[in-house]
Structure 1
């Protein structure tokens, strides 16, 4: 099965930052506490509704149900715990703070309750109380990365620079956290007025990072400009553009920034803690740890409500949790005068697409493309949107314009853009152009598994370059053995070549990896049928129908169940 690229660009690159095993411990932070359930009968309906909403990640509804239940049974440990976590998750810090002390009486090691109270103490100006709460944060468990950051900035509030430095050295025991440690030390010493140590730590952060991320680039450039090193700042921005081919972040932000010496990024220790929590939220902004990213970004915004990068991150997390309406509300809080408004508008269009408000999303992207005729980002996103809706010819037009703009600007070519246009061209019946794009994508990114898979699959599906196509898909499976869609491609390639035993082998593996995909179930049914296993074939076809196939796939599957023919090797195209 062919699988398209989803290009996700984060402000803080997470590669190399995550400690192995973090995702496995994410359930500790997810709002699903495992405590004795002592809910009394009266609020039980509201409690059950709250748990269902929480399971569906509808935290806005969950908190309302839990609050209703808690009013009826205010001493319930289960309700206190769940209501507290939901209040924090939706950003209701006044209520979360009121419940945090009750939660700590139930569980003195609850790191989120300690963090919420710490944020409250920082905002209240209680420097000593905040430092004590930072010291109480756990050194183990999924929240273990918060403690060094909180201890560092609460000590900065007390004027203890040496203590703040010592606190950040705790990151030494965590694999992959060197870039974050040195970056935090850089902004810490910059805030303290020690330019020499700040520059040294910023330099080490650059050396420790792989691909340059925007936050580090912008912070260091800000430092350079405030110290009369404008050429180095400009060179750093140019490096960011080079390392992140196709990213318009630097261009769109710099175009709207006022001239002159910029103000420091951090104006207080409170700002520093907000920055630290934002950085950590960016690091854990992964599918397995979205709840952590949500909680930390909420804490950052509680400390610094108008931190636009944190607002963008929160919007991304909410979109990833399938809450586009909440993401739109967050983006609406960003002023149109912000240098990040262009980035916000791209996200607004993406959320409109999620809400199936397609005409509005398309109009917005076309308007943006017309406003900035040298930028390609809006056209790229428009192409992805149209391709996702199977409007392939229109998608090709959008990708054509994006590539034209890249070439005109002298920007490096992006393999993913040629790959995406290649898919749209192939699906719109323009095979010669499609093949050229897919080949070019491989030239730009040799051994890219998605491109290997799509081009190899297309060749086999067309009866061309059969052995080379099979080898390419085999290579893609070697590179991504747990990608069920690529494994499905290999199984279906064997099917198309008439090797039904091998087809069954790989398609069964694909089903293990993606059990509810209708196309893979359909493919396995066909392979069973050709292997003389008709009962199992019919079972898989029925499963395929249960899992919501596309409209144009339903009739062929139903026809096979009704006794129609099953495609053989080299016959009609498969998924």
Structure 2
């Protein structure tokens, strides 16, 4: 069998599966897709203004706010009067959590046309956290605001009103906020918190129930929906209304079964324990506003603003909420700042309902940071600590499979199947991962039924279609069906260079070399640096007589990413010197012979494909 190609598909599928490995410890605390790790380096010593400024700009573009802040600090020491430097440094300081330093610059820039709004918000939050509530309200009076700004400063001002003892004015401020249709869910949630903290339980119940009684609210903000269920559950439990508390909590669990904060709260209510209130004070309320709105925009281009909101929330509240740390760790994960992400996860208390997700994500992060032994030790302990936790078993199995420790992964996947609900959307993936493990262990009689079961449960999974279809073609079995499976996978993922490579290489194995060239040329356009695709295209070119182009592709394979393993390098060098040997025909049911040693020796890991 073509172990090069199958091993490549296996590792791609295994690492991609880590996206499915961890369920919501919070609905928004999802595992991050494995990505190439950027090792953050501290600032290099610079002694010129231009050098410090350019280095700071580069660090900002690289989304390294800590490094950027240090370079801006150096630049300001060389030119403390530059307003441009002050503006950019203010953002860098605030994004890095250097709130006090950011506020000092904000005081100088409050009237600046470009950054005045952010400066006033920072000053308002500084006043609010110091319980100077009227000063906060004054700073938060902004003109010409966007919808998001209007909602943010309106809610923050409401919390300042409540802090000043004016609960009616606080509720009136939120009630007066109008604008986009999506305001409603955020306004109702904040009303529920404000009313609850001020002791107006009827108003709190009405507002929070209005959120959780409409599942459409979750389409606007799943965070606000789940937080409303939790807040109402806490209010009712503290009021002695156990049944109503459980009903509110269950509304949230209908949306996100297994959501750790709600499952832990439910257990506390069931046991009759005294539960904490949703919000302790005005500062906590302001932090919650910033967190909820930050999560609403925490994707794509909004990620930088979300991080700013999270840092504001961290600064304004006397206590740091674990869910805020989880969100900040998630941003660090997505920007490939692995060490920073780990530092946030480590701050989450052991007793927090967010700790389980933190533990599992830390294991995946350690793996991506190439601390593989630490990752395995960490996830092995997680499985021991959470013996009945499906996600812990899947996360550890994924890591072991990526490490080619398939024999150790199989019992974890067996246990995962026992733990998974029969209607779980992850069942197909568990069968798929078991199929990969069995195939890698050369137990095809066990692997094939797993792939078929995965497709039975979820027929249109391109990874499974690709894997099973290619395996059949590679073994010279079920050729028509296998080839059709790969074609279907390509139709489902028309821009996936790796799957198109499968189709091209399947044609190659079938001796359809012109078709192989056509598909492999498509694949190389989508994934130009991948060494395996370059190598495959080189082989196909050779078979159609394009020998000069073949050698060009083999040379490219030697410098591609990830680097080929040493035995593969030797094989490619041999092909460069000698070309390919003659073809050897096969009979139906026979495994196609490995005409070059690479087909038997190459176990190079695949690049992680985008999902």
User: Under TM normalisation by the shorter chain, which class is it?
Assistant: 0.7 to 0.9
| Aligned equivalents of 1:235, 1:511: Cα separation in 2 | 55
> What's the CA shift for 1:128?
4.6
Corresponding position of 2:365: 351
> What's the CA shift for 1:91?
0.8
| CA separation of 1:60 and 1:195: change in aligned 2, threshold 3 A | closer
Q: Does 1:153 align with 2:156?
A: yes
> What's the CA shift for 1:87?
1.4
Instruction: State TM-score, norm by structure 2.
Output: 0.77
Give the SS at the match of 2:215: helix
Corresponding position of 2:164: none
Q: Select which of 62, 69, 85 maps to 1:63.
A: 69
| Aligned equivalents of 1:79, 1:386: Cα separation in 2 | 48
| CA separation of 1:530 and 1:232: change in aligned 2, threshold 3 A | farther
1:208-219 aligned at under 5 Å gives the runs 208-209=217-218, 216-217=225-226, 219=228
| Aligned equivalents of 2:494, 2:184: Cα separation in 1 | 30
Asked if structure 2 preserves the Cα contact closer than 8 Å seen for 1:148 and 1:171, the reply is no
Corresponding position of 2:410: 396
CA deviation string 1:128-168 (max 9, x = no partner): 5544554537645xxx534313323313533242331342x
Q: Select which of 81, 88, 93 maps to 2:94.
A: 88
Q: Does 1:362 align with 2:373?
A: no
| CA separation of 1:241 and 1:160: change in aligned 2, threshold 3 A | closer
> What's the CA shift for 1:396?
2.0
| CA separation of 1:553 and 1:107: change in aligned 2, threshold 3 A | farther
| Aligned equivalents of 1:347, 1:468: Cα separation in 2 | 39
Q: Select which of 551, 567, 570 maps to 1:555.
A: 570
Higher deviation after alignment, 344-353 or 245-254: 245-254
Higher deviation after alignment, 181-190 or 375-384: 181-190
Give the SS at the match of 1:266: coil
Give the SS at the match of 2:477: coil
Q: Across the two proteins, how many residue pairs are aligned to each other? A: 543
> What's the CA shift for 1:178?
7.0
Q: Does 1:426 align with 2:432?
A: no
CA deviation string 1:103-139 (max 9, x = no partner): 5555435654444334223323344554455453764
1:172-183 aligned at under 5 Å gives the runs 172=181, 183=189
Higher deviation after alignment, 563-572 or 51-60: 563-572
Q: Does 1:530 align with 2:547?
A: no
Asked if structure 1 preserves the Cα contact closer than 8 Å seen for 2:531 and 2:557, the reply is yes
Q: Select which of 329, 335, 339 maps to 2:343.
A: 329
Corresponding position of 1:311: 325
Q: Does 1:564 align with 2:579?
A: yes
> What's the CA shift for 1:97?
1.5
| CA separation of 1:43 and 1:180: change in aligned 2, threshold 3 A | same
Where structure 1 has 5 or more consecutive residues not aligned to the other structure, the ranges are 16-39
| Aligned equivalents of 1:313, 1:412: Cα separation in 2 | 25
Corresponding position of 2:216: 207
> What's the CA shift for 1:411?
7.0
Larger Cα-atom Rg: 2
Give the SS at the match of 2:578: coil
| Aligned equivalents of 1:181, 1:395: Cα separation in 2 | 47
| CA separation of 1:229 and 1:448: change in aligned 2, threshold 3 A | farther
Q: Does 1:165 align with 2:168?
A: no
| Aligned equivalents of 2:226, 2:272: Cα separation in 1 | 18
Asked if structure 1 preserves the Cα contact closer than 8 Å seen for 2:25 and 2:259, the reply is no
Where structure 2 has 5 or more consecutive residues not aligned to the other structure, the ranges are 1-7, 30-45, 162-168, 586-591, 607-611
| CA separation of 1:223 and 1:196: change in aligned 2, threshold 3 A | closer
| CA separation of 1:105 and 1:564: change in aligned 2, threshold 3 A | farther
CA deviation string 1:491-543 (max 9, x = no partner): 33333334444433433333333333222333333333334333333333322
Asked if structure 1 preserves the Cα contact closer than 8 Å seen for 2:253 and 2:262, the reply is yes
| CA separation of 1:466 and 1:154: change in aligned 2, threshold 3 A | farther
Give the SS at the match of 1:267: coil
Asked if structure 1 preserves the Cα contact closer than 8 Å seen for 2:233 and 2:249, the reply is no
Instruction: State TM-score, norm by structure 1.
Output: 0.81
| CA separation of 1:256 and 1:139: change in aligned 2, threshold 3 A | same
Asked if structure 1 preserves the Cα contact closer than 8 Å seen for 2:360 and 2:392, the reply is yes
Corresponding position of 1:482: 495
Corresponding position of 1:406: 420
Asked if structure 2 preserves the Cα contact closer than 8 Å seen for 1:109 and 1:138, the reply is no
| Aligned equivalents of 1:385, 1:132: Cα separation in 2 | 53
> What's the CA shift for 1:301?
1.6
Q: Select which of 403, 415, 436 maps to 2:428.
A: 415
1:447-486 aligned at under 5 Å gives the runs 447-486=460-499
> What's the CA shift for 1:93?
0.8
| CA separation of 1:468 and 1:273: change in aligned 2, threshold 3 A | farther
| CA separation of 1:459 and 1:199: change in aligned 2, threshold 3 A | same
Corresponding position of 1:76: 82
Higher deviation after alignment, 57-66 or 207-216: 207-216
| CA separation of 1:241 and 1:58: change in aligned 2, threshold 3 A | same
| Aligned equivalents of 1:567, 1:47: Cα separation in 2 | 60
| CA separation of 1:93 and 1:412: change in aligned 2, threshold 3 A | same
Q: Select which of 197, 206, 210 maps to 1:197.
A: 206
Asked if structure 2 preserves the Cα contact closer than 8 Å seen for 1:254 and 1:339, the reply is no
| CA separation of 1:498 and 1:259: change in aligned 2, threshold 3 A | farther
| CA separation of 1:403 and 1:11: change in aligned 2, threshold 3 A | closer
| Aligned equivalents of 1:259, 1:483: Cα separation in 2 | 53
CA deviation string 1:53-96 (max 9, x = no partner): 33443332232222112201123344333322221222111111
Give the SS at the match of 1:209: helix
Higher deviation after alignment, 104-113 or 379-388: 104-113
Asked if structure 1 preserves the Cα contact closer than 8 Å seen for 2:558 and 2:564, the reply is no
| Aligned equivalents of 2:503, 2:213: Cα separation in 1 | 44
| Aligned equivalents of 1:353, 1:531: Cα separation in 2 | 42
Asked if structure 2 preserves the Cα contact closer than 8 Å seen for 1:545 and 1:554, the reply is yes
1:229-268 aligned at under 5 Å gives the runs 230-231=242-243, 234=246, 251=263, 259-268=272-281
Q: What is the root-mean-square deviation in Å for CA atoms of aligned residues?
A: 3.7
Corresponding position of 1:296: 309
| Aligned equivalents of 1:162, 1:567: Cα separation in 2 | 83
